């Protein structure tokens, strides 16, 4: 399993959880962004900076994704694309997205976009709570432990 991170929108607290997990489990992780990133010095963690442009980081993540990879993103169209390639997605709030639930999430996202486009204010997502961070860390740990068991 390779972890790919949509780093443009990933909060620092989530990146910190990911850094620790990648080191602890010796899992390869790549952060992709269209701006400079500072990452810890590690043989397990690397970064890719893409040129600025609409969805440039998403396009690179899709190109890099292989079946069995784990992608960290809250971007539902990106999640849909990588799930279609056989990857799992873990949202920053700890929700696992896969074939069984991605169509529903994409439909809800499209509906909210239509509301906003028609002038209805829908507000943005709530800030990450401690519960969200804990859920993310727990789900990540479960996925990495499961992967370790599969490799043995």
Assign residue 128 the CATH number of its domain: 3.40.50
Task: Round to the nearest angstrom and report the end-to-end CA distance of the chain.
Answer: 13
Residue 46: inside a domain:
yes
Express each pLDDT in 68-113 by its tens digit.
999 999 999 999 999 999 999 999 999 999 888 887 877 777 777 7
Residue 110: inside a domain:
yes
Residue ranges of the alpha helices (H) in 8-129? Answer: 12-25, 56-64, 76-83, 99-117
Residue 114: inside a domain:
yes
Number of structural domains, the chain? 1
The whole domain housing 111 covers 3-147
Express each pLDDT in 26-72 by its tens digit.
999 999 999 999 999 999 999 999 999 889 999 999 999 999 999 99
**The pLDDT value given to residue 151:** 55
Residue 152: inside a domain:
no
Residue 141: inside a domain:
yes
pTM for the full predicted model: 0.87
């Amino acid at each position: 399993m390779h972890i790919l991170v949509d780093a443009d929108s990933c909060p620092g607290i989530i990146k910190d959880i990911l850094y620790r997990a990648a080191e602890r489990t010796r899992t390869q992780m790549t952060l992709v962004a269209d701006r400079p990133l500072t990452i810890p010095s590690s043989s397990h963690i690397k970064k890719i900076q893409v040129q600025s442009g609409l969805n440039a980081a998403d396009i690179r993540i899709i190109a890099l994704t292989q079946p069995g990879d784990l992608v960290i993103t809250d971007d539902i169209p990106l999640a849909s694309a990588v799930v279609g390639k056989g990857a799992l997605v873990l949202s920053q709030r700890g929700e696992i997205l896969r074939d069984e639930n991605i169509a529903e999430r994409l439909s809800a996202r499209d509906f909210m976009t239509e509301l906003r486009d028609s002038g209805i204010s829908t507000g943005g997502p709530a800030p990450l709570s401690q519960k969200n961070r804990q859920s993310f860390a727990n789900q990540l740990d479960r996925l990495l432990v499961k992967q370790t068991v599969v490799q043995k």
